[in-house]
Amino acid sequence: MKIRVGHLYPEYLNIYADRGNIAVLARRAALRGHELAVESIGLGDELEPGGHDLLYIGGGQDREQALIAPDLTSKDEPIREAVARGVAVLAVCGGYQLLGRGYRGRDGSLMPGACLFPHETRAGETRMIGDVLLECELEPGAPHPLAGFENHAGRTLLDPGAEPLGQVVFGFGNDGESGFEGCRVGRAIGTYLHGPLLPRNPWLADWLLSQALAHASGGDPPELDPLPDELEAEAYRVAAGRARARGGRR
């Protein structure tokens, strides 16, 4: 089956190993006999709500985020409609921030976002940097650990009742205080974790592929055949070990 991926602003939001995440999705899809067809969606390009099975948006510097923010907000309704139709989303770092209501600077100004995730990000005084370990449960009764690296000054505050991607075991997470990291709305997930994220967390890559295949087929998410993930397991082990070395949740 062909999995249609819309990669938002790859020429601007591309500093956190986003190509690595796309490469993992493509390889793991191919090993199951599927094709990942990636389309770049840039400034001024139209986004069709039913035109993709998975949307991906990465991270960037403040200047690049400011450049794409007005265009992204012009795509807010198609993005929300796509998610309502069952399209999967992975948003990382700056992309995660801008899929909320926006980023509020220390001067009180707001860089508006696409309003997919129920949160707002506010500028902090210091950066939160280091390896992170989460406990996630995207499917009831199937908890998974998730390891990654965070580097952000923004404090993302979830609205009451919003669903986080996971609970922080080691690291800072969204704001360094709540114990939450990331956010989830249906098949859309946003996170500060990069490095890249998917090579060391193959279960999450497969979850995204399964959700995208469900949209492509119009059915339920399929159970994917397991793959030999010895190298991925070692990458996770190293990242999780560094996170544990930081000590308790910060």
The active-site residue, picked from 7, 34, 52, 93, is: 93
93 is an active site residue = yes
Is-cis flag, bond preceding 112, omega within 30? no
Strands (E) across 183-229 are located at 183-185, 188-191
Whole-angstrom distance, CA of residue 146 vs CA of residue 106: 31
Lookup: tokens for 196: 């890249």
194 among known catalytic residues: yes
Distance, first Cα to last Cα, the chain = 43
Long-range contacts, stretch 45-50, CB < 8 angstroms, 24+ apart: 47/6, 47/75, 47/78, 47/79, 47/82, 48/78, 49/78, 49/79, 49/81, 49/82, 49/85, 49/87, 50/82, 50/85, 50/87
CA 208, 214, 220, 223 dihedral sign is: negative
Structural tokens at position 86: 């069952």
Give the other-Cβ count within 10 Å of 24's Cβ.
23
Active-site residue identified among 7, 52, 152, 194: 194
Which residues are catalytic, by number?
93, 194
